[in-house]
Amino acid sequence: MSSELFTLTYGALVTQLCKDYENDEDVNKQLDKMGYNIGVRLIEDFLARSNVGRCHDFRETADVIAKVAFKMYLGITPSITNWSPAGDEFSLILENNPLVDFVELPDNHSSLIYSNLLCGVLRGALEMVQMAVEARFVQDTLKGDGVTEIRMRFIRRIEDNLPAGEE
C-alpha cells in the first residue's frame, strides 16, 4: 500500500474518532487501544518476516524496534537516545513521522495525541514477547516540537503462566 494512502486513511480514522468521542483524552485512549490490538497481531508477521530471534535485553529490543520494525512497516529508522542510567528507559526520535504528513491539528484539539496508535502497537507487540512496557509521546512535531519523541519504559518481564507440569 502506498504511504500516502495509508497516511490519508489513518487521518480519516482519527477524524472519525474525533467526531465519535467528546474529548481528546477519549480519542487518545481509543487510538492506544486500537494500536495495542494491531501490535498483538502484527508481532507474528514481524517475527515471520524479519527472522529476528529473541532479544536478550532492553537495549537489543530498542535496536530491533528502531532499525527493523519501524523500517519494515513505516519506512523510517528512528534514532535511539536518552537512555536512563538504569537502562530501563529510552527515547525513539522520529525526524519524520509519516503518519502526520498533510496534517494540521485544529486549535480545539490541542490535547490530541494524533499518532498515539504507535504507542499502542509497541505495547501490544512487546507484550506478546513477554515484555510489559510503557510507551508515550513526549514531543510531537504537530504541536510545534522539532522532532517526534516516543518515550519507552521497561516495566517487567511477563512470565508465561503454563499449567503445572507443562514446560
CATH number of the domain encompassing residue 12: 3.30.1380.20
Q: 164 in a domain, yes or no?
A: no
Could you list the residue range(s) of the whole structural domain that residue 129 is in? Answer: 3-157
**Arithmetic mean of pLDDT over the chain:** 90
Residue 165: the pLDDT is: 53
Q: 133 in a domain, yes or no?
A: yes
Q: 140 in a domain, yes or no?
A: yes
Confidence of residue 5 (pLDDT cuts 50, 70, 90): confident
Q: 146 in a domain, yes or no?
A: yes
Give the pLDDT mean for 136-144: 93
Q: 163 in a domain, yes or no?
A: no
Contacts of 102 (CB under 8 A, 6+ apart): 7, 8, 11
Least confident of 28-42, 90-104, 125-139: 90-104
* pLDDT one-digit tens code per residue, 47-83: 999 989 888 899 999 999 999 999 999 889 999 999 9
Least confident of 32-46, 130-144, 148-162: 148-162
Task: Return the SS3 of 57.
Answer: coil
Number of domains in the chain: 1
Residue 55: the pLDDT is: 87
Q: 165 in a domain, yes or no?
A: no
- Quote the distance between the C-alpha of residue 110 and its chain's center: 20
